[in-house]
């Protein structure tokens, strides 16, 4: 039996990936914390190994035990801490960087045939002028590392490439899921309240969660070890994203975009407030990213992996419909 070991199986992407691995004939083994919700994956026969990405010993034990259960065919590292709160930098260093280091070492020791590391486009760069498209070979600007999540995901990508893993870097991921993500919470706010009059000046490379899971499997089959693949369907300004989302549910759209200089002042003000009273939803590190332009060209994934994501308009419709049905069911 081909064994696939997965971190992040209980997360947003993992909820789409595990069923695909099961249908592809893998015996799925996964690392999970004791507190993680796993009931939604019960039908896929997952063998759970209790542990934590901040605990290298538990990572090694889980990987080695999984490899002993059959043919160690695939290791997918999709677990990470996503946070923009002040004070979470040390945790992200332990999980996103050192957890990745421990996972890669354990996978090598257990002789897994293929390792796929799931990163993020934030580890690739930003389009400084808001027009240029970046690809996998973009020059990295260390100034971006002022955001802990960006810094730790960049380090994790570097470790994975050096270890000859196949790296996939998705854009902002949208879609229905068993757990809420930052993007579904954002769309739910737009669905219920409409868009703010003025929106941040940045932009996102967007993609559906099901398409990311498909991209991970494509990378496992066809990706070149030590190479990166961007998983982005298209590039949307935040004004367009707010506007399209609001229009689809009959709500008010934005009337304009804040100038970059004014947005920088907003970030500076949030930074001062955050020092006095730590912010969560409006954490300065997260606000800083909303002022940047993430614009990417995913041609390598399309040509080398045979990856063909669904149009994002369709993903947006599906996500909003799911949010509406979920609200109706709860009511």
Tokens of 153: 């995901």
- Strand ranges inside 209-326, DSSP E: 228-231, 234-237, 256-257
Mean pLDDT confidence for 83-93: 95
Order of all β-strands in the sheet with 228-231: 47-50, 27-32, 2-7, 71-77, 114-118, 166-170, 228-231
**What pLDDT was estimated at residue 234?**
98
Contact 177, 8 (CB under 8 A): no
Q: pLDDT per residue over 243-263, tens digit each?
A: 999 999 999 999 999 999 999
Q: Is the pLDDT of residue 120 over 90?
A: yes
Please give the backbone phi and psi of residue 204, each rounded to the nearest 5 degrees, phi first.
-125, 145
Contact 59, 36 (CB under 8 A): no
Q: pLDDT per residue over 185-232, tens digit each?
A: 889 999 999 999 999 999 999 999 999 999 999 999 999 999 999 999
Stretch (H or E) spanning 20 = helix 14-23
**How much is the mean pLDDT over the chain?**
96
**Residue-range domains of the chain with CATH:** 2-179+203-235+293-310 (3.40.50.720)
Q: pLDDT per residue over 4-40, tens digit each?
A: 999 999 999 999 999 999 999 999 999 999 999 999 9
pTM listed for this prediction: 0.96
**What pLDDT was estimated at residue 208?**
98
Mean pLDDT confidence for 50-76: 98
Of 4, 8, 29, 17, give the one whose Cα is nearest residue 231.
Answer: 17
Task: Give the rounded percent of residues in the chain with a pLDDT score beyond 90.
Answer: 93
Of 232, 238, 219, 291, give the one whose Cα is nearest residue 260.
Answer: 291
d(CA 52, CA 200) in angstroms, rounded, equals 36
Q: Is the pLDDT of residue 290 over 60?
A: yes
d(CA 258, CA 264) in angstroms, rounded, equals 10
Q: Give whole-number Cα distances, 239 to 253, 256, 320, in Å.
A: 8, 7, 17
**What pLDDT was estimated at residue 178?**
76
Q: Is the pLDDT of residue 267 over 60?
A: yes
d(CA 281, CA 297) in angstroms, rounded, equals 29
């Amino acid at each position: 039996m081909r064994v696939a070991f997965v971190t992040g199986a209980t997360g947003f992407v993992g909820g789409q990936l595990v069923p695909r691995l099961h249908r592809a004939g893998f015996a799925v083994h996964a690392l999970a914390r004791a507190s993680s919700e796993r009931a939604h994956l019960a039908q896929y026969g997952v063998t759970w190994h209790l542990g934590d990405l901040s605990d290298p010993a538990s990572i090694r034990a889980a990987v080695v035990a999984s490899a002993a259960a059959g043919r160690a065919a695939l290791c997918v590292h999709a677990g990470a801490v996503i946070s923009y709160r002040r004070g979470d930098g040390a945790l992200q260093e332990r999980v996103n960087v050192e957890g990745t280091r421990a996972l890669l070492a354990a996978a090598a020791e257990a002789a897994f045939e293929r390792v796929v590391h799931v990163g993020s486009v934030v580890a690739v760069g930003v389009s400084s002028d808001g027009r240029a498209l970046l690809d996998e070979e973009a020059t990295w600007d260390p100034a971006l590392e002022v955001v802990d999540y960006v810094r730790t995901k960049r380090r994790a990508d570097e470790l994975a490439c050096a270890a000859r893993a196949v790296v996939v870097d998705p854009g902002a991921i949208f879609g229905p899921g068993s757990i809420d993500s930052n993007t579904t919470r954002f769309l739910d706010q737009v669905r219920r309240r409409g868009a703010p009059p003025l929106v941040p000046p940045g932009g996102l490379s967007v993609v559906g969660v099901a398409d990311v899971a498909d991209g991970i499997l494509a990378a496992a089959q066809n990706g070149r070890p030590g190479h990166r693949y961007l998983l982005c369907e298209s590039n949307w300004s935040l004004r367009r994203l707010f506007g399209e989302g609001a229009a689809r549910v009959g709500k008010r759209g934005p009337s304009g975009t804040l100038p970059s200089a004014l947005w920088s002042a907003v970030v500076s003000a949030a930074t001062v407030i955050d020092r006095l009273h730590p912010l969560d939803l409006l954490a300065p590190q997260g606000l800083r990213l909303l002022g940047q332009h993430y614009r990417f060209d995913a041609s390598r994934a399309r040509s080398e992996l045979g990856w063909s994501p669904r149009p994002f308009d369709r993903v947006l419709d599906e996500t909003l419909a799911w949010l509406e049905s979920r609200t109706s069911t709860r009511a």
